[in-house]
Amino acid sequence: MSQLPSSIGFPSGVFGVAPLRLDVLTHGPGWVALNKPVNLPSDDHPWQENAAHLVGELRAQLQLEKPEIVKLGLKEPAVAFGPEPQVSGLLILADRASTLAAWREAIGSFQLNFTYEFIARTEEAPAEGGLCDLPLGMDDTRGRAFVSHRLGKQAETTFHGGELFNRWRRWTATTRFPRRDQIRAHANECGLRIAGELEYARSGRVTLTDTTRRGRLNKGDDKPLHRCLLLHLGRIQGLVAGVPIDLTAPLPDDFATVVKRLGKAA
């Protein structure tokens, strides 16, 4: 894998009108880490209603022997871990025959820490972070997680408050076993309304008004600074088959722009 590509791409029409490229962040024996954008399913899932997903399209291009896909060195790529479609960040592809089991064993035995970053409203939010250990169930009919002490499975998320930007604040959420939509569901239960959230809360989006020192603009001049949920899986660290790993993924452009502009106005 000495000629690992810096990114891989998919043509227009596969995941939308525009073509799509994903950065290849790093790799190890039998695995590759990508930086997944928002609104891209990693793998097949009942909640996605048969939508095109990354690993399926990647396998199709591998069968066609597309050079940059072949250079990934994965004979049978599978998703070891990937964020939900609405969440950006680290996605781990592993070869099914050689390393997939080791990654899944590391996740299942709590050998990894997953750290997410997000922006949330300050209204109703706790002054400090803490542990949320509400058990979560999955509602396949509505396509969302829900809290249930009777039907739910163990789930733990630790929240830490970061930089404060008037009406918004930067937060991190850490867990050793991220269930689907766990960060979003736990954040909502703790009063943390993530910017761009539409399923578990109605938080609204960060707008130009939030980035001006006077806090207001002329009528009609205000507009949102991002289109999607500001939730990003930025770091995975721990042990896989006894080998230490520490992987990071930079923020997507719209998230980074929001942080920069909020910081200037604070």
β-pair type (144-147, 20-28): unpaired
Q: With contact defined as beta carbons under 8 Å apart, do 40 and 229 qualify?
A: no
* CB-side neighbour CA atoms (13 Å) of 115: 15
201 exposure class (CB count in 10 Å sphere: 0-12, 13-18, 19+) = middle
The pLDDT score that the predictor gives to residue 222 is 85
Amino acid at the residue 68: E
Query: Which among 194, 238, 205 is positioned nearest to 84, based on CA atoms?
Result: 194
Pinpoint the alpha helices (H) of 154-242: 182-189
Domain covering 1-109 assigned CATH 3.30.70 in the classification = yes
Over its length of 266 residues, how does the chain's per-residue pLDDT go in tens digits?
458 999 999 999 999 899 999 999 999 999 999 999 999 999 999 999 889 999 999 999 999 999 999 999 999 999 999 999 999 999 999 999 999 999 999 999 999 999 999 999 999 899 989 999 999 999 999 999 999 999 999 999 999 999 999 899 999 999 999 999 999 999 999 999 999 999 999 899 999 989 887 656 666 678 999 999 999 999 999 999 999 999 999 999 999 999 999 998 87
Domain covering 110-266 assigned CATH 3.30.2350.10 in the classification = yes
114 exposure class (CB count in 10 Å sphere: 0-12, 13-18, 19+) = buried
How is the chain split into domains, by residue range? 1-109, 110-266
The pLDDT score that the predictor gives to residue 218 is 67
